[in-house]
Structure 1
Amino acid sequence: MVARIYDLSSSWTFPNTQQEVWDVIADADMSWPDWWPGCTFAKPLVRAPYASDASDAEILTATTAGLNFKATLGYTLKVSYRPTHVDSPNEITFDAGGDLHGDGRVMLRPLPHGGTQMKIEWRVRPTSLWMAFLSPVAAPAFTYAHRVLMRRGEEGLRQHLARQDKGNRK
């Protein structure tokens, strides 16, 4: 049985500059577990060899992160995230593996009144047998769990950026 493909998108806005948001989400050390509730490292980062004078983008594309995401419905997804293209500070495209296989991208753009909009697009297929089996009937529940997880990520990033702002003002 082949599981359905999920086209998932989110849009987050922050009062911070595009560069400030980029510096956190495109961190080569993948600091996401520091600010995203329910996100933990599944294993240490894996980094392919890169030149000693590599740019931040080259280091990022040499990095694969294995992350766990705890869903509100009680299950945990193990997802690997490997950036494939980096256009700093505008866009990251990536491949996903593990319990979700597919690809996605994160796009940042400045807002006219200030601040930054971040759009996240995922096109993934569940690979775990139980999710593939349940997809025909559980798709609304899986989509709901994704929305809640993304809202937690947005709020966590918003709080993280606010703490950084306060630290920079001292």
Structure 2
Amino acid sequence: MAAYRFVTCWRIEAPLAVVYQAISQSQRWPLWWPGLARVRELAPGDERGIGRVYRYHWQSRLGYGLCFDIRVLKVYPPRVIVGEARGDVRGWGCWQLTPEGDITRVRYEWRVETTRCWMNLAAPLARPLFVWSHHAMMHQGATGLARWLRARLLDSRRG
């Protein structure tokens, strides 16, 4: 399997609670995140959301789709959400939000391995394209979230 580690940082001119609410409601992400075709809740989890499972269907800018489930492992509102991925990718992701005055700094770390045979076979040559596609998708998320919140995106970059 091909392993990837991505870190993305966004700075959005919006209060921490507002940004956290949008990020914690991933079933609404398709309303503002281009490339995310749909999200479906598979299991509700407990009252804090621990154990909640969502299925995500993404369409990359390169034309291929990815489908994977995320099970919420940890939630520390309004600062941290950690989930485990299984499906076309396997691994984990962690959202970390930090207030900086009237600005919220969002850091997303995504450590996954691809499980699809064609992606693993293509990885030695296509890795730069897969990395570019991920970063492009994350930038679309940053701009979409800022637009959704009617806030200004101050920064969207690799960590």
TM-score w.r.t. the length of structure 1 is 0.83
The match for 1:167 is: none
Kindly provide the CA deviation profile for residues 117-155 of structure 1, in whole angstroms up to 9, marking residues without a partner as x: 000000000001100111111111100000101111111
Structure 1 gap ranges (5+): 164-170
Structure 2 gap ranges (5+): 152-159
Q: How does 1:11-50 map to 2 (within 5 A)?
A: 11-27=9-25, 30-41=27-38, 44-48=40-44, 50=46
Kindly provide the CA deviation profile for residues 5-41 of structure 1, in whole angstroms up to 9, marking residues without a partner as x: 10011001110011000011112x6211111111022
The match for 2:132 is: 144
The match for 1:129 is: 117
Relative to structure 1, the CA distance from residue 45 to residue 116 in structure 2 (aligned partners, 3 Å threshold; closer, same or farther) is same
Partner Cα separation in structure 1 for residue 106 and residue 9 of structure 2? 6
Bigger strand share: 2
Q: Percent identity?
A: 28
Please give the root-mean-square deviation of Cα atoms over the aligned residues, in Å.
1.5
Q: Does 1:64 pair with 2:66?
A: no
Partner Cα separation in structure 1 for residue 37 and residue 63 of structure 2? 15
TM-score w.r.t. the length of structure 2 is 0.89
The match for 2:154 is: none
Relative to structure 1, the CA distance from residue 160 to residue 48 in structure 2 (aligned partners, 3 Å threshold; closer, same or farther) is closer
* TM superposition shift of 1:49: 5.9
Partner Cα separation in structure 2 for residue 49 and residue 107 of structure 1? 21
Partner Cα separation in structure 1 for residue 45 and residue 75 of structure 2? 17
Amino acid aligned to 1:8: F
Amino acid aligned to 2:43: R
Contact residue 41 and residue 65 of structure 1 kept, 8 A: no
Contact residue 79 and residue 97 of structure 2 kept, 8 A: yes
Partner Cα separation in structure 2 for residue 148 and residue 73 of structure 1? 10
Contact residue 94 and residue 103 of structure 1 kept, 8 A: yes
Bigger helix share: 1
Point out the more displaced range, 121-130 or 30-39. Answer: 30-39
Q: Which has the higher contact order (CA 8 A, sep 6+)?
A: 2
SS, match of residue 134 in structure 1 = helix
Count how many residue pairs are aligned between Structure 1 and Structure 2.
151
